[in-house]
Structures are given as structure tokens and as C-alpha cells.
Structure 1
Amino acid sequence: METISACIFDLDGVVVDTAKYHYIAWKSLANGLGFDFTEEDNERLKGVSRMRSLEILMEIGGVDLDQETQLKLAAKKNEEYLEYILKMTPDEILPGVKTFFEDLKAKGIKIALGSASKNAMTILEQLKLTSYFDAIVDGTHVSKAKPDPEVFLKGAELLGFEPANCVVFEDAEAGVEAAINGGMRCVGIGSPDVLNKANFVVPGFEGFSFETMESGLNK
């Protein structure tokens, strides 16, 4: 089994739960267009880019909008979402995440962010987590959405390690596929039913350590 030299983390749903803020902003947009948008509908937007999310929203509502309107609505949704994340505090870091980061640092393991979010830096600053990351790759650095592995491959490259030496942490199916497509091992955060392509799955980081990760990946 290849040595683990680096860990690459998705942001939303792994380090922090910003999904609720995305949901509120998308729901508000859908309501403005005259249809409802449920939490179940929102599951389809996980790990998907902003413009693709809008396309899915339009499919759900059966609406057809020109490109200019789409861009305006995507910007409006982002403005509303930003209002929420600018009020975030370190209390919103998911349980066990910080302890796990500290465990990795103590063992000399490099840490990168691999997120489709264009607001990743703002969120990390609000959470006071920026200093934990040796490399940050977000939606402003990549052009291909997951399951394309671009975001994770860039993270590995910035850290100076081969994909085989990197472990990705993901909560979305498309993200797990992106890790595998990039030749990396993947720990799923969430439900084994949804993330069944991951090397192994845990519900979250509480009580999770480097040793837990190693033993889970070596099964």
C-alpha cells in the first residue's frame, strides 16, 4: 500500500456545513421564479458548479431562461449566499475536523483544500482555518467540475506528491468519483449507501485519527 503523504479535503459537507446556506439561497431563487425547491431537490446540487446548479434548478421548475438572465440569477443567488457565510464563525466547523487537522500536522502530513466553491477562501477565513492548509485549490483555479479530477490533481501537484500518496475526503458522489478518477484513495464522509465507491466511509470526524484512516484504507 502506498504511503500516505497528503490529505485533500472538500469543503462543503466535509469541513463545514454550508449546504444549508446554499439551499436557502437556491430555494429563494426558485420561489422568485414561481416554483418550490425541496431539500430532496437540493441533493442533486451537491458538488456541482454554480451554473450547472442553476440548469438543474431550471429543469426542476420547467423554466427556460436566456444566458444573460441565467448569469444575473446565479450572481443574485451568490450574493444571498455570501450574506450568510460572512456571518459564519469557527463554531460552525464540523465536529472533530480541527482535532484531525492537528493530528495530521503532528505527523507531518500535508493538507490541501480541493473545493469547487469560489467562496472557499472567504469561508476558511471566517472559520479561522486558513493556516492549516499547505495548498488551497478552489473554484477560481479550476475549469472542470467533479467528477473530473482536476481540483484534486492540482492540489497534489501544489503539495508536490503523486496522486497515489494522497487521500481525498469527500461527502458527494461526484467528488468520490473525481478522487478515484485522479488515482487517489478516498474516505467518504456520510452515508455508505450514497458513497459506496469510496475506499471506506465514516459518518464524520469525531474520534477519527490518522491511525483510523490508515486501518480503514488498508482493509
Structure 2
Amino acid sequence: MKKKLAIFDLDGTLFDTKDVNFSSYKYALEKYNYNLEYEYFCKECYGMSYERFLPEILKDDKVSIHDIHKLKKALYPSNLGQAKINEHLFNIIELLKEKYFLAIVTTASRKNCIEILKYFRKHDLFDLIISYDDVVHVKPNPEGFIKAMKFFNIEPGQTIIFEDSSVGIEAAEKSGAGVFVVNKF
């Protein structure tokens, strides 16, 4: 029986989806007459929940951030060809899967998470996916990580979390688990 847990972030950790997300948000925002610059997106938006960065782009406009996010999710599959897989990390996952439960905790939507996993044929590797849709508080709150540990009844001391973003690393540290920082694969 497995007594350890490995938790992985999706965007920037398992996959480089910066260009996928940028293109999807850029097209969604253009439909509402907003412009999104790549450099701004990379510095201020990527790795964050849309609820944190879209209000800053829209200012106090009447456009719903939820409408833009819904359109972004619809556009996401058409941009998946721009994603890059972290082959080294997936090799590590293959080595871990015999002794560790494998989970994803992401601020991405469940829909987009499953789409990219299926695109790269990696969906069946994971025992649990906790997405933006499954938590009340997103990273830097550790809720998603704690929820995964409780699901498997695994203590933080028996858990390793793979993260790349500052908010994700902060959440992982708050969870009490070990943290492995993924930096530019």
C-alpha cells in the first residue's frame, strides 16, 4: 500500500503553458476590445488566478471577468500545440508512481487541466486532480494541497510538492509538505 504522496502543479511545472494561456487570454480579451501584451502577461498574470489579474486589466469596466475566462477556456484547446511538456519531470513521475500517490493541484480550470493531460496522453497517470473549481481559496492559500493530503490520508511529512510559481511555493510551504521548486525546464 502506498504511504506517500507527490503533488504537482500544472502550468509551469508539468507543462510550459505560458504561450497557450497567453494566446487564449489575448484572443478572449480582443473580443472585448482589450489588448494584452506578452511581456505584461508573463510578469503580472501567468501562474495567477484569473480573479487576481483580470480586474487589473479591465479596471472598473462592466465586462465580466467570468465571461472572459469562459471564452479563454473555450479557446484553450485550439492553442495546445504551443505547450511544451516537462519530459524530465514525467520521467520522475514514472519512477515515483509505484510508491507514491500522484496528484495535481492547480489554479487552472478542471476543463483545461484535463484537456492538456489528454492532449499529451498523461491523464491516466494521476490518482487525483484538484483544480480551481474544487477549492474556495486558491494559491497562495494551501487549501488544495491540504485537500489532496486529506483525500489520501497522507501526512505533510510524507508529501512532496512540485511547484514553480511564487504563490504556489508559498502555498506548498504553508501546507507543511516538502517542496521541490521547478525552475525553467
TM-score using structure 1 length: 0.73
Asked whether the 8 Å contact 2:23–2:79 carries over to 1, the reply is: no
Per-residue CA deviations over 1:62-108 (Å, capped at 9, x if unaligned) read: x4212x533322222222223223x579xx421212211111124x1
Calculate the TM-score normalised by the size of structure 2. 0.85
In the other structure, the counterpart of 1:65 is: 61
1:120 equivalent in structure 2: 113
Letter in 1 for 2:66: L
Q: Whole-Å Cα distance in 1 between the matches of residues 161 and 95 of structure 2?
A: 16
Higher helix share: 2
Confirm or deny that 1:142 pairs with 2:135.
yes
CA distance in 1, matches of 2:128, 2:65: 32
- The structure, 1 or 2, with the larger RCO (C-alpha pairs under 8 Å, 6+ apart) is 2
Which residue identity does 2:68 align to in structure 1?
Answer: L
Partners of 1:69 and 1:105 in 2: how far apart? Answer: 41
What letter is aligned with 2:90?
K
Residue 122 to residue 41, structure 1, CA distance change in 2 (3 Å): closer
Q: Which residue of 1 aligns with 2:6?
A: 7
Q: Which amino acid aligns with 1:17?
A: D
| Residue aligning to 2:89 | 97
Further displaced range: 19-28 or 39-48: 39-48
Larger Rg computed on CA atoms:
1
Paired residues, what number? 180
Structure 1 alignment gaps of length 5 or more: 191-202, 205-219
Conservation of the 8 A alpha-carbon contact between 1:9 and 1:15: yes
| Structure 2 runs not aligned, ≥5 long | none
Matched residue, 1:17: 16
- What is the Cα-based RMSD across aligned positions, in Å? 2.3
